[in-house]
Structure 1
Amino acid sequence: MKKQISFSATGYAADLGPLKIQRILPNRYTNKVGPFVFLDYVAPVIKEIINKNGMGAHPHRGIATLTYIIQGEVEHFDSAGNTAKIHSGGAQWMKAGNGIIHDENFNYDSQTASKYIHGFQFWINLPAKNKAESPAHIPIQANEVPKRVLPNESGWLKVIVGSYEDLSSKIPNYSEQFLYHIQLEAGKQFSLDVENNIEVAAFLPMQNILLNDTEFHKGELVEFDQKAGEIELKNTSGKSVDILLFGGETYTESMVAEGPFIMNTQAEIATAYRDFHAGKYGEIKVTTQNK
């Protein structure tokens, strides 16, 4: 049986440093999909100038950030001493844990002739016990992202987070979670089954597609009900389409979100701010690899 659609929504424009983005999650219908509590979409844009100064250092606590860059490159640096640069098709994950300051550069890919930037940033809520852990960072280049060619030359599926069949991402799972990037060829379809009590949503960055026999449009986030069932993706257009499918088990602990912090109580939010202002998150000592 096919899963029912719970809602569809479009984001709103916001600024991410010098970039213009669409804030897809949270929205007026929900503040989370499984452990995913935030999604910014950077639509394709040409960037002529390399930014060497970062987009603005800021703290986090209680979450993991995930940047997935379809086209371009992202440079990361943080107060735990982590630095890395990923290129088109790569991802980087940072566990803020008990507190960190980080900054990023979004630039065109220095390894290619293209000057486009196109990507996503998610926040993943951590279980209470993991919010108290030390920060960590994992960069993943494009050739390290697990990929499966779909049957009948239908396209491919990349596992950015979680697992699919025998494929598993390098990103740790503190709860059941998944993020797939699916590309579906013209005139093709693909289905997958989702278990009971799993929150799941699809985001359509660039093209329209049929989801369980209903057409949705580019820029829409589509969430499904939590009953076990099938999600069918059908491409009736004359060109390939891209879909992000993500979600996971319901977060059952209390959740309080304020600014860059997501904790379990208001008292923990107050502590997060107090520790930040007391300098307990450290400072970024390396400003950029590009200098």
Structure 2
Amino acid sequence: MSPSDLGEHLKPFVFLDLFAADMRLMQQSMSMHPHSGIATVTVITEGDMVYDDPQSGRGTLEYGGVEWLRAGGGVWHGKELAAGESRLTRGFQLWLALPPELENGTVDSQYIGARDMPRVGPATVILGRHASAVSPVRAPEGITYLQVRLSPGEQWAFTPEDGQSVGWFAVAEGEVDAGGRVSAGQIAFFEDGAGPMSFRAHSTSGATFVLGAAIPHDHPLYLGYYSVHTTAEALAAGERRIAELGARLMASGDRRTASGNVPVFR
């Protein structure tokens, strides 16, 4: 999903990437890059990654853990997560279009390990709330994002909150029947409406997937290369800010930590 295709229909969800890589190689090849106007959410479906940040401390993210980065008015990032113990790491990175009051605002980042993320049945509550559980991530209201793992043949249902007429899911592993079969690497979205979403995992493989539901983002999308804003003026302000930050980043020298990662530059 990108802002110019499905993101236009599923906003505030505007970008989704399913990645699988040796983090030792991926971190070397990944360059520092800017964002403004969005928040990024990274979750792990297999393996682990390490963060090391002066403001957040050091720790490990594995299945159920999350990196939250509200870029707001501008950040540079791309190397803040380093390789953990696993050779292969799989996961999703999601972008959210921010509302006007946040799109050029202050940066906010969180790293939260799996043990501190709430679970309801097979679902980890990454953003928002589900049943009686509320995520500790400081996300805008009206957005729910879940990470779900079903055993072979297991059935499960999710009911969106009032007003959440945007709904989709994407499969990382296995196969899910949700009124049609959806396999690993595929995304499907539900017709507008707040009805329950029902899922059954494949009888032999089980399934791991993420699910998003939200109140629609009722603003146009103005797109930069790494930025998404609600107006041309907000986009211009965000791009000016990230250009200024880029110049400061170039002058800052080697910022690598002992873990080998490079903290977010804000």
Report the TM-score, using the length of structure 2 for normalisation: 0.83
Query: Is the Cα contact below 8 Å between 1:54 and 1:105 reproduced in 2?
Result: no
Distance 1:193 1:56, change over 3 A: same
Q: Which residue of 2 aligns with 1:209?
A: 176
Q: 2:109 aligns to what SS in structure 1? A: strand
1:51, distance to aligned residue in structure 2 (A): 6.8
User: CA offset at residue 103 of structure 1?
Assistant: 2.8
1:65 equivalent in alignment to 2:37: no
More strand by share: 1
Q: Deviations over 1:24-80 (max 9, x none)?
A: 44474443524221111113x4x2847775821122111111111232204366xx9
Q: Please, which of 48, 62, 72 is the counterpart of residue 88 of structure 1?
A: 62
Q: 1:96 to 1:129 in 2, by over 3 A?
A: same
Cα distance change, pair 69–218 in 1 and its aligned pair in 2 (3 A):
closer
Which residue of structure 1 aligns with residue 264 of structure 2?
Answer: none
RMSD: 2.7
Structure 1: which 5+ runs fail to align? 1-23, 150-155
Q: Give CA deviations for 1:191-214 in whole Å, capped at 9, x if unaligned.
A: 2223455201010122222103x2
Matches within 5 A, 1:5-154: 24-26=1-3, 28-31=5-8, 33-43=10-20, 45=21, 47=22, 49=24, 55-70=30-45, 71-75=47-51, 84-89=58-63, 90-110=65-85, 114-149=86-121
**In structure 1, what residue type is equivalent to 2:91?**
G
Structure-1 separation of matches of 2:147 and 2:48? 17
Aligned to 1:6: none
Separation in 2, partners of 1:196, 1:85: 36
Q: For residues 106 and 136 of structure 1, do their structure 2 counterparts lie closer, same or farther at Cα, with a shift above 3 Å needed?
A: closer
Give distance in 1, aligned partners of 2:38 and 2:188. Answer: 23
Could you say which structure has the higher helix fraction? 2
The count of corresponding residues between Structure 1 and Structure 2 is 254
In the superposition, the TM-score normalised over structure 1's length comes to 0.77
State the one-letter code of the partner of 1:244: V
Alpha-carbon shift at residue 107 of structure 1 (Å):
4.6
Does the 8 A contact of 1:35 with 1:247 survive in 2? no
